[in-house]
Structure 1
Amino acid sequence: MITVTCVRHGETVDNVGQLWAGWKDSQLTQHGMNQARAVGAYFGDETTGIRIHAMYASPLSRAFLTAQQIQSQQPLEHRPPLTPTDLLKEQFWGDAEGHPFTWGPPPSKDDETDAAGKYAPLTSRTSSFPNGESSDDVARRVDLFISEFIIPHVLASQADEETTLNIFVVSHGIAIAELIGAFLRRDPSVAKQAPETWRGLMNTAWTRMEITTRIETSHPPPITPSTRVKSSDPPLSVRITAVNQYSHLANVKRQRGGIGSSAYDPKQSSIKTSLVGIREAPLLKQGSSEIQPWGYGQLIFPVYCLLLFSWPY
């Protein structure tokens, strides 16, 4: 058996600004990075944590930085590999990328809302903004992710039934909803459900599935041609065990004065953590398992700056 835990990225500046951000590389806010640290600490804790065997993430910085926080807070002796893949990117909004969204009716060409550059939510699975993706396009993408990255883990788990492989996927709200829907379509026993059912994840909230292969293979795959999977992939048994979990955010408070909603600045964060003696979870490069210790030289300059700028004159 394997478990697949899907984690949404931390809050971004475009979440705060209510802008369409699919493939646009919207930065985490300061609050979003604190959320990412919190979910990393949760899964690295001896009580609430879980051993992770492999991680996959969208290459967009908001998801990849969140994934790095989870990876880097796992015990060093079995830190999991982290693989970025474009198949986990958010839905591409095309011409709407970076524009404000509105909850009103879809604007017409002569509408004042349209002139202001605002875009209303899409109304069907096949609709898309100009030059963008539809929901069905995303469904096809995440189907490929399952075939290329998850099915090998499922097959490997068959060789050792005593061991559960824990896989983490760090991605985006719509991409995760479509991924859950794609998994469920591979289980012949599951009644058809709209992937939209699984939307609405909080930032850094997580949903978990238990996945095994099914013995019976006589059932035709209950999927539509637009999301057809490889014929060689085995049918799956999928059980959702947790949905939209975010208890790790209980003590994460937004910084006041607009700081929490500003873009995350790793340089600024390093100065703050140096001054108060808090060590951030270090971010690892892909394939790296070593953490470089802090040297005294990294602490001297921030302390000097504090004394210089706080001097009464």
Structure 2
Amino acid sequence: MGKITIFLIRHGESVDNVAGLLAGVRDSPLTSHGAIQARRLGAHLTSTRFDWIFVSNLQRAVSTAEAVRDAQTETKPTLVQVPDLREKDFGSDEGRRWDKQVAAAQDAETKQSMRQRSARFIDEHLSPIVVSSADGEDDTNIAIVSHGMMLASLLAVVRGPDCFHPSLVSSLNADVPARWSNTGFTRLEVSFVEAPTSSEAHPRWPHCRLAVATVNSVAHLAGLKKTRGGIGSAQHDARQRTVTSFFASGPSKKRKAEEQLD
């Protein structure tokens, strides 16, 4: 039986992240710096052949997932946009500065609602893959690109007794912090084992063991510095070329651009 590896990935830096705003379901785009973070992530994961890429349908997550997909050197998997992977809905607090929030808005989404969304995503998307992988020999790699609070909710449900038998979840997992930096990823490894012979628990995947291999990895961001002058914090324009590609296009275009500035 093959192994299943799941990458829980947070989106790159967004415009609302920089502004310090509560941006749950607000469709805040990536900053220029966030787009670079996403490309760095894609390059870092290029040796991992993803079979599935699930992503929130908010653009900051979709843009990050596209960077991961585009860096794949073999067959590029289709991005499966899943509304259940959206960030927490902060209700009437959406768009407010997070450091000005006194108490959660009464119309904000509850933890229970987020756990229900997590469970629904697992049942509709992850469980079918786990079941089919049990009969195969090949390893399976899954990327899930979402948001900080939603990833924390999803991880809590995955690590709980509804998914795995408690004896098949490493005790070290209890110490794993549920947090993600922009484009940080937590890597989970699911392997197939003998199910416990006697148990009152009835998890989704009784024949599986869960191990946390990496937590909030940001090795791909080593040495990356944000462009000064506010450029790095500005909204990313996908039509703009990178500095490298601009100068690689030849001196004639560079001179033409300089002439236009005169």
TM-score clears 0.5 = yes
8 Å CA contact retained: 2:173, 2:211: no
8 Å CA contact retained: 1:13, 1:26: yes
1:275 paired to 2:227: no
Give me the whole-angstrom Cα distance separating, in 1, the residues matched to 2:29 and 2:22: 13
8 Å CA contact retained: 1:41, 1:70: yes
Q: Which residue of 1 aligns with 2:10?
A: 8
1:137-176 matches, cutoff 5 A = 137-160=113-136, 162-176=137-151
Q: 1:182 to 1:172 in 2, by over 3 A?
A: same
Q: Which residue of 1 aligns with 2:185?
A: 206
SS in 2 for 1:80: coil
Give me the whole-angstrom Cα distance separating, in 2, the residues matched to 1:255 and 1:97: 28
Given the alignment, which residue of 48, 72, 77 partners 1:50?
48
Could you tell me the percent identity over the aligned residues?
32
SS in 2 for 1:260: coil
Total equivalences in the alignment: 254
Q: Which residue of 2 aligns with 1:178?
A: 153
Give me the whole-angstrom Cα distance separating, in 2, the residues matched to 1:25 and 1:197: 29
Q: CA deviation at 1:251?
A: 2.8
Q: CA deviation at 1:64?
A: 0.6
8 Å CA contact retained: 1:180, 1:198: no
Q: CA deviation at 1:90?
A: 0.7
* Ranges in structure 1 where 5+ consecutive residues have no aligned partner: 103-117, 123-127, 223-230, 279-295
Q: CA deviation at 1:217?
A: 7.3
Over aligned residue pairs, what C-alpha RMSD do you find? 2.8
1:219-258 matches, cutoff 5 A = 219-221=199-201, 233-235=204-206, 236-258=208-230
Give me the whole-angstrom Cα distance separating, in 1, the residues matched to 2:244 and 2:95: 32
Give me the whole-angstrom Cα distance separating, in 2, the residues matched to 1:64 and 1:171: 9
TM-score normalized by the length of structure 1:
0.73
TM-score normalized by the length of structure 2:
0.87
Give me the whole-angstrom Cα distance separating, in 2, the residues matched to 1:192 and 1:181: 14
Q: Which residue of 2 aligns with 1:136?
A: 112
> CA-to-partner distance for each residue in 1:15-43, whole Å, 9 max, x for gaps?
11111000001111111111001000111
Q: CA deviation at 1:136?
A: 2.0
1:158 maps to a residue whose letter is: A
8 Å CA contact retained: 1:89, 1:175: yes
Q: Which residue of 1 aligns with 2:87?
A: 90
Give me the whole-angstrom Cα distance separating, in 1, the residues matched to 2:172 and 2:159: 8
1:244 maps to a residue whose letter is: N
SS in 2 for 1:154: helix
* Ranges in structure 2 where 5+ consecutive residues have no aligned partner: none
Q: 1:130 to 1:308 in 2, by over 3 A?
A: farther
Give me the whole-angstrom Cα distance separating, in 1, the residues matched to 2:126 and 2:106: 32
2:41 maps to a residue whose letter is: V
